[in-house]
Every structure is written in C-alpha cells, then in structure tokens.
C-alpha cells in the first residue's frame, strides 16, 4: 500500500470504507477499498472473479493487499455514484436513458454468464456510473462458478432475489434464470423509480415477491413492459431467457454484439433456468408460500442475531426486518455463503484428457488472423464434467460477443497485442509516429468477431425440432443422461445410432425421426465433438446427397451435419482431410430442392470456416477445393432464394475475417455478386445487405486489385460513404466501412507519394517499404473525394459513437490522423470540439488497441502542434491563423490526449515568441488571449511542467515576469495566474529534487524575487490580485521554504503587517502562513520582534483570531496561532517589549476565552493554543483569572479526556495551572475541587499511561487541589 496515497473518503459501509487515492509519482487516481478482515472470504471471492472477467461494463481490479487488520482492493475510480443514488435523485429515468444504461447492465451480466459465472446479487447499489457515463457491475462478492451454484447459502437483497430460491421443495439453486429475475427488477426500477415489489417488513415483501403480479409501468415503451413482465415471471421455466432479452425490440441496436453462442450452456427457452435441475412445475400454493416466507424470515432473524446481537432499538424494527438491506437466508449459517474455489480449467480435445496438448492450436504469426480453432474447456469437479462451462472472452468494446472459436482466438490475439504495444504506449516522443505503423491500427481485434451460420436467427428463425420417442429403435436418452454414460455404454449407444441410420430395413420416416432426435440432444461441444469425429458425420453427409431419400430426410441430414460442425470445438485432422467437404460441394449444384440447398450451404460455410482456421498441415488440401467452393458460393449468391443467398453472404463475410484464407473469395465475380446483394431494396433483410457490404469491403482490402472495381461501383459510389456511415444497415457495417475508408485513404496517400509516407515506415533496417496498387491519378481522385466529405464523416461518427469504448471512435482517430497528412489546414478544419472530445475519451480507455490508436494520434498532434506554433511565431495570416489557433485550443482542452502528446522544446520557444510579439505587433494583438490560454493549458499539466520546466522558465516565464512590472491590473492578474499554476504543478511533483542551487531553484528564486519586489504595488490593486500574489509566494515557499529566507526583510515584514491591518477578507491564511515563515526563517536579517511590538500588531492578530473563530476558518486559526506562539516565545525575556501591556490585548479582546482556551482541546491546533496559554500565564498576571474561570477549567477537562489532543498541549495546560499556584498561592485553586468533571478527568489522567512529565504534573495538580480542600474542611 505504500505505492498509493489516500486522499478523501468517498464512501463507507458497515465494515468497509472507500477512498479516492493516487498512485505515487503518477497522476492516476483509483478507488481504494479498505475492508475489515471479517469479510475475508467475500473479498477474495470478489477479487478472483473480477480478475477472471474483462469487460467495459465490469469494474476492473488493479491490485489488492492484505494488512494486519484490513484488505485493500484497488479498482477503477467511479465518482459519479451508484444507480441507487441516481434513482434517488431523479426518481425514474427517461426512455433513452433506460435503453443505454439498461444495455450496459445486460452486457456486463451477459459477459459474466458467458465466462461461466453467476452474479447472485444484482441490484442498483451494485452498479456504478463511470467517467464515460456507462454503468459497470462492481460487487461480485457472492458470485460463483455455474457448476458450483448448488453449493453455498442464500444471501442477497430481498427485493431482487428470485422467488424460486425461497422455496423449500423442490429446492432450487441459483441459476441464470434467477440472475435474469434480478435484471428484470433493476430494469423495472430504472423505468419507474421504485422496485417492482415492496413491503414495510420482510414478511410482507417476500409474500408480495412470491404471490403478487408485476404491474405495468405507465408511459413506458410496450416492448420494455413486456420484457420486464417476462423477466419477472414467477416460474423460472417460463421466465425470459437470454434469447428473449436479446431479441426484444426495445433495445434497437444497443445489444447488437451479443449472441447466444457465447453462453456456456443452451439458452433456449427450456434451458433458461441453466440446466441445473429446475422443475417444470413450481408449487405456488398458499401453504407453500407461507412456509417459504416463514422459513426465510426465521433464517434471516437467526443469522442476524448471531452476527450482531445488540442491533435494533425499542421503537424501531430490527435490522433484519428492513427489506432494503442484504440478508442471509441460509438455514444454520451465520457467517455468509460458502465461497467456492475455482475449478481447474484445462483444454481437452475429442473428449480425451490425454489428448489435451494435441488439441491445442497455436496462435498464427499474424495478429490480424483471428480465425482460430475452437477450444473446449472441461471443468474438473470430482467425477463430473460440465463441458458447457467453457470460458469465453469479450473485448472491452462490448459490441460483439462471438462464437467460442473466435472468442478464444481473440483472447490470445489480445495478449499478443498487449505485449507488442505496451512499450509504444509508454514512449511519448515526437518520433512515435514511426514506431506505430498505421496499417496496424486500421483493423481491430473485434472486427474479426463472427456469427455462426447454423441457428443464426438473423438469417432464419428455425422451428423447434420434435421427434416421436416411441418410434426410436433404441432407448432415446436425454442429453444429461448421455453425459453420464461410461465409455463402454457410450460406444454401444453410438453403434445403435449408426446401425439404425444405415439399416436397409428401416423406413425413411424412421431414419428422419432418428436424425430429429439427434438434433434435440446436440446442443454443445460435449456430444458434438464425439459425433462429428465419428462415422455418423460421414453417414449424415451421405444421406444429404442420397436422392432416393425424401426431401425432408435429406434436409434433416444436411441440417444435422451443419449443427454438428457448428457446435464442435474440435474436429480431427483426418476427418477434415476426408472427402466430406468435396462431397457437399458436389451435392449443392445438383440438388433440386431449395430447402436442402439452404442447409447444404450453411453446412459448407461452417466447415470451410473451421478448416480455414487450422494449421498449414491441416489445410494442405485447401487448393483442391478452392475452385469448387468458389463456384458453389457464386451460384448461391446469384440465386433468387433469400435464405440460400443470406447463408452464402454470411459464410463469405465470416471467412473474410481470416486474411490468410479469404483469398478463395477475392475474385471479381464474388465481389460483383456481393455488391448486387448490398444494392437490394429495403424490403430485403438488412442484415444480409450489411453482411454483403462488409464482406465486399474486407475482401477488397485483402486484394488491392479489387479497389478500382469497388471505387467505381455504382452500387457503392465513393461520394456516398459519409451517408452510409451515418445510416449503416448495422453498426458493425458502419465500422467496417470506416476501416475500408481508412485503408483506401491510406493506400491512396502512399500512391501519391505523400511526405508522411516515410513516417509510416518503421525506423529499423528490416522495415518493408509501403506500396500501393492504386494508380496515382485515381488515388488523387479518392483523396479529393474523401477530403471533401471529412466534415460529414466526422460528424456522422461523432453522432453514432456510443462513447470512447465504441471501436468506431478509435477508427475516427486513425481517420483524423490520415487527414493530417494532407496538410495543416485540412487537419485544423477537421478538429471539431466534439471529434476531439470523442478521441479524448478513446485515450482514456483501457483496451490496448484503443490506447494504441490514441497514442499514435497524440504523436501526430505533437508534430502538428510544433509546426503550427512555429508557423505562427514566424507570421500571422488573417485567413488561416484563427483556424489554427482554434484547433490548438481544442486539442489542449482534451486533457487525456494532452498528457500523451510528446511536446518538443521548440513549442515553448515558439509560444514565448508569440507572447512577446503580442505586446509589440498589432497583427498579433488580437490573438493575445489565445496565446495566454495555450500557455495556461501547458502549466496546468504536472507532467508537462516537470518534463519541460527548463524550457518554460527560459522561454515563457520571462514574458509573465515582465508583465508583473506593468501597472495594468488585467496583465498582472494573467501573469500571477500563469506563475502560480506553474509553481503549483512543481509542488505537486514529488520526484524532482527541490534544491536552490539547481537551474530550477534559481528560476523559482527569480519568480519569488520579482513578486516580492512588486508586492507593495500589487497590494494596491483590488482583489483578487493581492490574494493571487500571496498565494504565489506561499506556493514558492511550499516548494522550498529556504527560498523565502533569501528575500525576507524589514520592508517585506512591514508590507505584510500593513496588509493584515487593512485587509477586509476573513480568510487570511496565505499572509499569516508567509508571516510565520518569514519570522521563523529570518536568520537574523530582520529585527522582527522589536518591530512587531513597536507597531502593536498583537491587536491585529487578536482581531484576526476572533474573526476566524467566528467564521470557522480552522486553517486560518492554525496559522494565526503559530504566529502568536512564535512571538510570545521570542519576547518572553525582552524587558523592552512591554509584554504586560501588549499581551493584555488578548485578554481584554476576549481572544483567550473565545479562541485559545477552546482550541486547547482541538486536535489540529491544540499544541499552539496551549503554548499561547502557557506563555500568557507567565507574561500577563491578568491571565490568572481567565485561566481559573469556568472556560479555563473546561479547556483543561476536555484536553485531559480527549485522547487525540497532543501530549505537549496537556502538559502545557497543567503547567499553566501549577504556575498560578506558585505565584499566587495554593488557595487560588480552592474552588477547582468543586468541579466534579475536572476532578474526575484528573483522576483518569493519573491512572492513564501518560509520559512521566505529564503524569507528574497531573499528580501534583490533583494533590494541590485536594490538600487545599481538606485543609478548608478542617
């Protein structure tokens, strides 16, 4: 924890506190959670699960520590509060807010389920609003792996717990369905402002949850109301599944990237309860409800009484009966639900653990190739395996969750990208543009995400397959029963299937029925891996092409073959090399039935994508099928049947993401077919048209020879790119189009021989020169056309982007960087405030690729800033200067980007020259305020000041020091503001040595001397100039207190006292702090003590102390007490100072009674207040009466009882009372014995373990008082 500095507290709970913190030597802020050791299991569970999740809508854990009493967890800082507090302020949200924030919750929860975990505690207070105005899930203390859902107890917040979890019989474990219930509760509360079920007591609330229907929300979208009602269905088997959530029309495109294929288990309606034993019939009889409520209330009361027996009050309900808090409903458990260990995860191929290593597919050399093999993860848990609990990955942009095969490959590619780019992100030099090739920034890892063909509801909504169990010639086992078969029994089961399908005596209807039966149980890799690598797969393919079989049977065989390939995570290489694919390719052209052809092309597409993702030796026969595959898909794309055409388009699009294998479709004929499909009218499926456009754009970037065709296409005219980006068929299509625009723009610039081309070539000797096949004349037309649409393209992206986490926002940074290659004016015109704000948000993202784009853009901005300021320093142009200055101000207002820009020293030289010319040159004068604004941006960045302080001191600061000499108030205020900001940044840096003999130290001294010389003149101005001057002096003193000793003088002291005497401001911290520093560091250069008393300035201090006490300015009181304490200690033995007369000011002015005595019990000022009291007691006899009064006794009693008061302060107060007894006699303390509270405090002080001196003084005072009292009584 020494690496972090705790700042203010931003939240607290019963056993935890949350602080805003900063990592030392950085300006990165985090949320630092301090949690009591009693929460050990929950903290560790929270950290482990959050570490396993990686999503933009789930909070990120950076580090955690364990100390003697606490756990410390460092997470992202979300200072906008939680959803509960937002709803408390705004009651309910608008329609669009529910859509945006609700989709954030859905995306985070979906990713949790996709990674194989249950949340178990989703509620508004567990959702934080981050800096991008997106909701993130942060409390995973009760989460668990799916396969361990039955273990542990029931803990949660009652209004959000699913009703089936309270039932006694049948016992229901937490499930995906119970998490979806909680999601419905959260959505209801967002839309209405209150939970769906309420109750004054826990019993009433639970009864309502178990029995009452949910009421529709008035004035809310009909689709949202329907979805909430479906999510809050009492029976989990009838409750909405993820499929229902994602297909709800309310979301629009907000959940565009989420697909059911990413989930670890089947998400069909009958599996919505997670396949963990949920019964079809849930008993909701009145007796069952009463029993469930009674058991839950008793368990909550028993567990709470064990945990906190003294809670509650007489007139208030007990804590456990307050429904809004988290409660433990576990019977016989009082210390929380069991926290479950994570199972060991290992990669297994073909269902055999021995073959795990051989099943692992290595990452291709190119990080741009994301078409990798599926990885099937089996979870070890005793003798059970749950193959569907495979771990998924989701990019932080949360725009597309992929099928398992692409998800796993994207994970590896992301790790590779992290390794390759980390150093680039850390280096911020002007040459960074050479080390970040722009070609590596155009395509994102998320661009390689694909959707499967089989079961894709955007293509075809398949009907539920049913079969007749009575007609199956063998025992028709369910999926869970098949999974429990021994190896021997499973082989027998497979033989029965094969024999029944290949039997010549069996009827066609019987074989079709068997195929339908297999379709119902093939729903994941567990069974698919076994079937697809068996002879059953070959038999299905053979049946698909057998003309003697009826159409329905051939269709079912084709569908089952595609289904097996779709769900299989591993296919043996020998099966890939067999003639299955050639057979399918031969069947398609000659198949007369369109329905069968539809299933065939889907199966072919799935199989081709799988084979393309394999290693070279697996794809050795790839060339043999290229011609046939190309011919088949050309025919499929030209067909009039919409389903066949859509399957073909999607297959081509999927393969286009594999840049090494998609050359099979990089032909003129395929491209023409895709463009024709894209140009179809709006009556056709928009997803099909979007996939066609996406595939065409990607294929053309793989084979540049296709560029001319695409650029000259009437279906996709180049002058309509902006319009298409503004209104794409799908968000993904818009991102692909912008990537294509960046590619063709980039290649055209290369073809034209742009001067920036050399900046894109890596500086190493192995760099390959960039080439482009676009003819120079056509390249010039392309650049001209794109540049003419730049405002429209940028505006469309800004309007459509969903914040910095949207990939299209990072692609915009690449596009704007390319625009900069056309010249400064073109780039300045594109630097709109909204565009830079969006790119600034990209720079704040944690995704490595996003940060890489932002870093490259910032590197370019460093060059642009340097050249632009240099040009402005040379001369002014009426036509371009306003444009350039506006662009610079917008760039520097993007604070995150500004931190990344590699600033050159010549930037400060140019800026200093512009500031100088603004004073003497009429052409520059209209832009003086703009130059000041640029200077202010620089000095407000700590890293900039620390790194370039020499350049700022030599080039910019002299201008502002010169401004201090002039009499104009506005110029002096501007100079003070700049210099104070510069010094404040230096003070904030903890790494730079603060020595006066360095160049920096001499620069600080010049600033200090200039201000001190002009201080009398500055004090003549109205506020805020005097206060700014004092703050600047104070900041210089904070940097190094020794700096003040070189400028202190009697003249400066006189100036400070005059200011204090005349100032109307109550907050006089800066002058008092400076006065104390000057008095304590004068080194004999002034006769400060005599001067103070000659001028009778103790009266001024008396007035300030009383006024500050009345105003509650604790910091001013502390500074004032320090000054008074120093003066009294210094003049004690000075007979010439008339101390009696001077000190009487504090007594007659009520400062002692109203200020110093009360402050003796204040933790922060007690030492100085007590020192003043002690010195006044010795210097002024009139102090005796005040000290022995009720005020003095009260001060001593509070100081003795407050353990936070300084020991030195207690000692000084005790000595003050003893001093009076020595001077006036013991009888002066007689009446103190009547103060029972004081006497009790003295007794406790004697008994307490004080240092020897304090103990001795307390004992002596007590004996003095008690002896006097005894003597009086006798």
- What per-residue confidence (pLDDT) applies to 325? 63
Q: What is the pLDDT of residue 368?
A: 28
Question: What's the mean pLDDT in 679-689?
Answer: 90
CA–CA distances in Å: residue 166 to residues 173, 295, 479: 10, 8, 28
Rounded Cα–Cα distance for residues 457 and 462 (Å): 7
Q: What is the CATH number of domain 4-76?
A: 3.30.200.20
**What is the signed CA dihedral for 703, 707, 713, 718, rounded to 10 degrees?**
130
Given this model, what pLDDT does residue 959 score? 92
pLDDT confidence of residue 284: 58
Domain ranges in the chain are: 4-76, 96-263+288-299, 438-620
- pLDDT given for residue 182 in this prediction: 94
State the pLDDT at residue 1261: 86
Residue 1151: per-residue pLDDT:
82
Residue 345 bridge partners (DSSP): 379
pLDDT at 476 over 60: yes
- Alpha helices (runs of H) in 1063-1206, residue ranges in sequence order: 1069-1080, 1088-1094, 1098-1111, 1114-1131, 1139-1148, 1151, 1157-1159, 1166-1179, 1183-1187, 1190-1201
pLDDT at 671: 92
Residue 763 in this model has a pLDDT that exceeds 60? no
| C-alpha to C-alpha distance for 975 and 964, rounded to whole angstroms | 6
Q: What is the pLDDT of residues 1056-1079, one digit of tens each?
A: 888 888 877 667 888 998 888 888
Q: Tell me the pLDDT tens digit for each residue of 1044-1053.
A: 777 888 888 8
Tokens representing 1240 are 């009790």
DSSP track, 335-357: S-PPPPPPPPEEE-BTTBGGGHH
| pLDDT given for residue 356 in this prediction | 30
Give the position of tokens 């001093």.
Answer: 1219
Confidence of residue 1268 (pLDDT cuts 50, 70, 90): very low
pTM (whole model) above 0.75:
no
Q: Identify which of 157, 164, 147, 81 has the alpha carbon closest to the alpha carbon of residue 120.
A: 157
Q: Is the dihedral of CA 554, 559, 560, 562 positive or negative?
A: positive
Mean pLDDT over all residues of the chain? 79
When mean pLDDT is compared across 607-621, 961-975, 1230-1244, the lowest value belongs to 607-621
User: Considering the chain, what percentage of its residues have pLDDT values greater than 90?
Assistant: 25
Sole residue written with tokens 């900069």: 820
pLDDT band of residue 638 (cuts 50, 70, 90) is: very high
- pLDDT 10s digits, 326-354: 677 665 443 333 333 322 222 223 333 33
User: Residues 1082, 1042: contact at Cβ < 8 Å?
Assistant: no
Cβ atoms 861, 897 nearer than 8 A: yes
pLDDT-derived band at 7 (thresholds 50, 70, 90) equals: confident
pLDDT-derived band at 152, boundaries 50, 70, 90: low
For 266-295, write each residue's pLDDT tens digit.
343 333 334 334 444 455 567 778 888 888
Q: Within a 10 A sphere around the Cβ of 668, how many other Cβ atoms?
A: 11
DSSP 8-state secondary structure symbol assigned to residue 82: B
Closest of 1274, 1244, 1231, 1032 to residue 1264, by C-alpha: 1231
Contact residues for 523 (Cβ-Cβ < 8 A; gap 6+): 266, 268, 271, 479, 567
Question: How far, in Å, CA of 820 to CA of 755, rounded?
Answer: 11
Mean of pLDDT values over 558-568: 92
Q: What is the pLDDT of residue 631?
A: 92
Provide mean pLDDT across the span 350-366: 29
pLDDT above 50 for 380: no
More confident residue, 1122 or 1142: 1122
Q: Please determine, for residue 855, whether its predicted confidence score (pLDDT) is greater than 60.
A: yes
Identify the band that residue 113 occupies on the pLDDT scale cut at 50, 70 and 90: very high
Domain 438-620 has CATH 1.25.10: yes
Token output for 994? 């603060």
Residue 348 CA from chain centroid, whole number: 34
The CATH class that applies to domain 96-263+288-299 reads mainly alpha
Mapping DSSP onto H, E and C, the string for 1023-1071 reads: CCHHHHHHHHHHHHHHHCCHHHHCCCCHHHHHHHHHHHHHCCCCCCHHH
Closest listed residue to residue 570, CA positions, set 518, 527, 517, 617? 527
Nearby residues of 693 by Cβ (< 8 Å), 6 or more positions away: 674, 678, 716, 729, 733, 736, 737
Give the CA distances from residue 444 to residues 739, 746, 822, in Å, rounded to whole numbers and listed in that order.
9, 16, 24
In the beta sheet, which residues pair with residue 377? Answer: 347
* Element (DSSP H or E) covering residue 379: strand 377-381
The bridge status of strand 61-66 relative to strand 16-23 is unpaired
Task: Tokens 């098949």: give the residue.
Answer: 482
pLDDT at 371 exceeding the cut of 50: no
**Burial of residue 52, with CB atoms counted within 10 A of its CB: 0-12 exposed, 13-18 middle, 19 or more buried:** middle
């Amino acid at each position: 924890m020494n690496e972090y500095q705790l700042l203010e507290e931003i939240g607290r709970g019963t056993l935890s506190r949350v602080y805003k913190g900063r990592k030392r030597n950085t300006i990165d802020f985090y949320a630092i959670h301090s949690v009591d050791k009693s929460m050990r299991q929950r903290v560790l569970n929270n950290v482990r699960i959050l570490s396993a999740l990686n999503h933009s809508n789930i909070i990120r854990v950076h580090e955690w520590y364990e100390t003697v009493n606490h756990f410390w967890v460092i997470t992202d800082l979300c200072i906008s509060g939680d959803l509960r507090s937002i709803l408390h302020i705004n009651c309910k949200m608008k329609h669009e807010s529910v859509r945006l924030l609700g989709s954030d919750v859905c995306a985070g929860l979906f990713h949790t389920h996709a990674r194989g975990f249950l949340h178990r505690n989703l509620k508004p207070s567990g959702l934080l609003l981050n800096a991008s105005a997106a909701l993130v899930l942060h409390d995973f203390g009760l989460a668990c792996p799916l396969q361990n859902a039955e273990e542990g107890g029931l803990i949660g917040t009652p209004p959000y717990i699913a009703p089936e979890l309270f039932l006694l019989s049948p016992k229901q474990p937490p499930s995906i369905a119970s998490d979806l219930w909680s999601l419905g509760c959260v959505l209801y509360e967002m839309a209405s402002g209150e939970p769906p079920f309420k109750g004054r007591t826990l019993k009433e609330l639970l009864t309502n949850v178990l029995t009452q229907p949910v009421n529709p929300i008035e004035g809310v979208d009909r689709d949202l109301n329907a979805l909430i009602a479906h999510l809050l269905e009492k029976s989990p088997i009838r409750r909405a599944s993820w499929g229902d959530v994602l297909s709800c029309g309310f979301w629009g495109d907000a959940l565009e990237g989420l697909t059911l294929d990413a989930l670890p288990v089947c998400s069909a309606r009958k599996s919505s309860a997670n396949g963990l034993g949920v019964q079809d019939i849930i008993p909701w009889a009145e007796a069952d409800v009463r029993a469930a409520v009674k058991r839950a209330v008793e368990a909550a009361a028993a567990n709470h009484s064990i945990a906190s027996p003294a809670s509650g009050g007489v007139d208030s309900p007990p804590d456990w009966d307050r429904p809004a808090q988290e409660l433990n409903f576990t019977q016989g458990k009082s210390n929380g639900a069991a926290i479950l260990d994570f199972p060991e995860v290992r990669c297994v191929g073909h269902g055999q653990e021995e073959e795990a290593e051989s099943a692992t597919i290595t990452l291709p050399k190119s990080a741009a190739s994301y078409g990798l093999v599926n990885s099937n993860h089996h979870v070890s848990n005793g003798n059970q395996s749950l193959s569907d609990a495979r771990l998924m990955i989701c990019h932080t942009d949360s725009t597309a969750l992929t099928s398992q095969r692409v998800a796993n490959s994207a994970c590896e590619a992301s790790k590779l990208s992290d390794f390759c780019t980390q150093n680039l992100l850390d280096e911020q030099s002007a040459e960074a543009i050479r080390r970040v090739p722009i070609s590596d920034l155009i395509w994102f890892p998320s661009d390689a995400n694909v959707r499967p063909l089989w079961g894709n509801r955007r293509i075809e909504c398949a009907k539920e397959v049913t079969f007749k169990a009575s007609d199956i010639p063998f025992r028709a086992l369910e999926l869970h029963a098949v999974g429990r078969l021994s190896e021997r029994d499973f082989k027998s089961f497979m033989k029965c299937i094969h024999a029944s399908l290949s039997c010549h005596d069996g009827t066609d209807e019987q074989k079709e029925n068997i195929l339908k039966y297999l379709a119902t149980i093939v729903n994941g890799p567990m069974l698919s891996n076994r079937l697809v690598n068996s002879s059953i797969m070959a038999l299905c393919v053979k049946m698909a092409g057998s003309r003697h079989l009826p159409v329905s049977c051939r269709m079912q065989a084709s569908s089952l073959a595609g289904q097996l390939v779709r769900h299989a995570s591993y296919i043996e290489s020998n099966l890939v090399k067999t003639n299955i694919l050639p057979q399918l390719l031969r069947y398609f052209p000659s198949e007369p039935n369109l329905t069968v052809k539809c299933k065939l092309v889907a199966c072919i597409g799935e199989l081709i994508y799988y084979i393309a993702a394999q290693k070279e030796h697996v794809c050795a026969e790839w060339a043999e099928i290229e011609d046939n595959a190309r011919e088949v898909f050309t025919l499929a794309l030209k067909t009039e049947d919409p389903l066949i055409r859509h399957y073909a388009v999607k297959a081509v699009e999927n393969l286009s993401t594999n840049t090494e294998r998609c050359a099979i479709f990089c032909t003129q004929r395929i491209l023409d077919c895709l463009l024709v499909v894209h140009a179809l009218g709006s009556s056709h499926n928009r997803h099909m048209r979007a996939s066609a456009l996406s595939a065409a754009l990607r294929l053309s970037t793989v084979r540049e020879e296709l560029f001319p065709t695409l650029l000259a296409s009437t279906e996709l005219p180049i002058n309509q790119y902006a319009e298409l980006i503004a209104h794409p068929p799908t968000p993904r299509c818009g991102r692909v189009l912008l990537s294509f625009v960046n590619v063709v723009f980039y290649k055209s610039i290369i073809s034209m021989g742009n001067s920036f081309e050399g900046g894109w070539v890596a500086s190493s000797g192995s760099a390959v020169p960039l080439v482009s096949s676009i003819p120079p004349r056509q390249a010039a037309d392309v650049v001209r056309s794109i540049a003419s649409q730049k405002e429209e393209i940028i505006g469309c992206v800004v309007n459509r982007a969903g914040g910095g986490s949207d990939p299209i926002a990072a692609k915009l940074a690449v596009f704007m960087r390319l625009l900069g290659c056309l010249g400064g004016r073109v780039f300045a015109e594109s630097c709109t405030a909204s565009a830079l704000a969006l790119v600034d948000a990209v720079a704040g993202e944690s995704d490595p690729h996003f940060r890489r784009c932002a870093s490259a853009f910032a590197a370019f901005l460093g060059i642009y800033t340097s050249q632009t300021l240099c040009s402005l320093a040379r001369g002014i142009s009426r036509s371009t200067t306003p444009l350039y200055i506006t662009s610079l101000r917008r760039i520097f207002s993007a604070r995150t980007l500004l931190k990344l820009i590699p600033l050159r020293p010549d930037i400060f030289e140019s800026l200093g020259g512009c500031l100088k010319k603004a004073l003497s040159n009429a052409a520059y004068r209209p832009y003086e305020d703009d130059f000041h604004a640029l200077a202010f941006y620089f000095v407000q960045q700590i890293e900039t000041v620390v790194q370039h302080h020499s350049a700022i001191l030599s080039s910019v600061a002299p201008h502002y020091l010169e401004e201090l000499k002039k009499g104009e108030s506005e110029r002096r205020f501007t100079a003070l503001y700049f210099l104070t900001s510069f010094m404040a940044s230096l003070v904030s840096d903890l790494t730079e040595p603060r020595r006066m003999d360095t160049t920096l130290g001499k620069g600080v001294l010049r600033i200090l001397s200039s201000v001190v010389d002009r201080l009398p003149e500055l004090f003549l101005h109205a506020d805020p100039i005097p206060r700014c001057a004092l703050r600047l002096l104070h900041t210089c003193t904070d940097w190094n207190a020794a700096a003040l000793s070189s400028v202190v003088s009697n003249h400066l002291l006189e100036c400070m006292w005059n200011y204090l005497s005349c100032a109307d401001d109550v907050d006089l911290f800066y002058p008092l702090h400076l006065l104390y520093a000057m008095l304590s560091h004068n080194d004999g250069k002034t006769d400060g003590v005599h001067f103070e008393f000659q001028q009778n300035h103790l009266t001024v201090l008396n007035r300030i102390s009383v006024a500050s006490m009345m105003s509650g300015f604790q910091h001013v009181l502390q500074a004032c007490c320090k000054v008074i304490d120093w003066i009294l200690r210094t003049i004690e033995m000075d007979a010439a100072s008339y101390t009696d007369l001077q000190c009487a000011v504090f007594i007659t002015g009520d400062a002692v009674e109203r200020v110093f005595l009360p402050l003796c019990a204040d933790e922060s000022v007690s030492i100085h207040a007590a020192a003043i009291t002690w010195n006044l007691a010795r210097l002024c006899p009139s102090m005796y009466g005040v000290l022995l009064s009720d005020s003095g006794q009260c001060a001593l009693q509070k100081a003795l009882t407050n353990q936070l008061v300084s020991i030195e302060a207690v000692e000084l107060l005790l000595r003050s009372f003893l001093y009076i007894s020595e001077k006036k006699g013991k009888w002066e303390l007689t009446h103190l014995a009547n103060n029972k509270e004081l006497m009790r405090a003295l007794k406790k002080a004697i008994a307490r373990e004080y240092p020897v001196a304090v103990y001795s003084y307390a004992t002596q005072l007590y004996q003095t008082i008690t002896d006097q009292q005894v003597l009086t009584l006798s």
